[in-house]
Structure 1
Amino acid sequence: MKLLTESEQRQVAAAIERIERDTDAELVTVLAARADDYTYISLLWAGLVALLLPGPVNLVGGWLSAGHLLLAQWATFILCSLLFRLPAITTRLVPRAVRHWRASNLARRQFIELNLHRTEAESGMLIFVSEAERYVEILVDRGISSRLDDSTWQAIVETFTTQVKRGETLQGFLTCIEACGALLKEHLPATHERNELPDRLVILS
């Protein structure tokens, strides 16, 4: 999966730098290729296909011996395990609820690992995207949530998610950052110059 180029990443960083001039919020953006490799899902599906194999095989040609049938099951399991590891296929095998749960967990881990919970004014904001899961989430620290309800970001997230599904990830970031910046400028205006966290786009490949 192709993530943003260096030039596109610089555009995101520049957008963050622009809006942070007008707000005390500290924005960090993260783009992940995928939230999980879902190896266990691939193995579960491969095992299920292998277990169901005797039914159609015996129906079409019941002449296979138990040994040959077992060999066919093992071969099916191995081939399906490899096939189902392909990202384009794996994503479709994983229930949406599971994909979003894994992406949400990764977003929360990034919030902590990138020290968004340790800013001076508790004003950290994470804009997180996981492309394979088509998942977007905005997480904010207490300094922001005390002034803006979490539901404030819902429309922005929905718009960004639609853009990610269309393959417009760069434009999605720029639109999202601009929309968040307008709200932050109004409700959390800049009181003094600060830049506690890096403006660059964090890429998780």
Structure 2
Amino acid sequence: MDKTNHNVVINQQELDFIAGLEHESNENDGPLNDSEVFVTNAELSFFKHFSKADSVGVVAQYGNHRLFFPIEFNTDEQGLDSMAFAPPQIFEKGTHDRSWRLIPKQELILIDRQGQPLPYKLRDISFSGLSLQASDTEIELPTELEDIYLKIPEHPKIPLNGRFSRYINPGTVAFELDDMSQQGNRTLREYLYSAHQMLNKPKSLLPEY
């Protein structure tokens, strides 16, 4: 059963405040990720106060799309605290907001544990669900996600776990994703975010990963 998140929304004034907190790195430090923000101890204590919420982050809205960037609190090997914006969850606004779904290109394939292609193709995918379409009318569609992996270019295969949602038509079935590994979930959100940037503007206003 899905749990409802109580998101702490940061307004534009607070977002401007966060942007002003970035500090120059030391000469020995490597280049910073565009999504990373360094803060003083007092400022970090202020933001960590919100970490008790179910989720805390920044919301950006463009047209009918809403992007929720979770804030992560990190400590490096030198003990320097920082905040970073994780890849976002993307929603389409409507009577009931729903996860933004990507109709993927051929570069996304479904494979089994041995890496062999499966006789299904992705009809669409979001960070919370997907729908499978049989590549042939004689192929029986699964009723659960088992021994099915998603292969994103230049990334390890991601095991997909989920539960049956509904039949869209006799040749297509929808699933809700759950129990995905933390790294797998992040990789999927990064890919969806990158695809969303390519399809929607303004790209330059949003952080890169």
TM-score normalised by the chain length of structure 1: 0.27
Which structure has greater strand proportion?
Answer: 2
TM-score normalised by the chain length of structure 2: 0.27
Larger Rg: 1
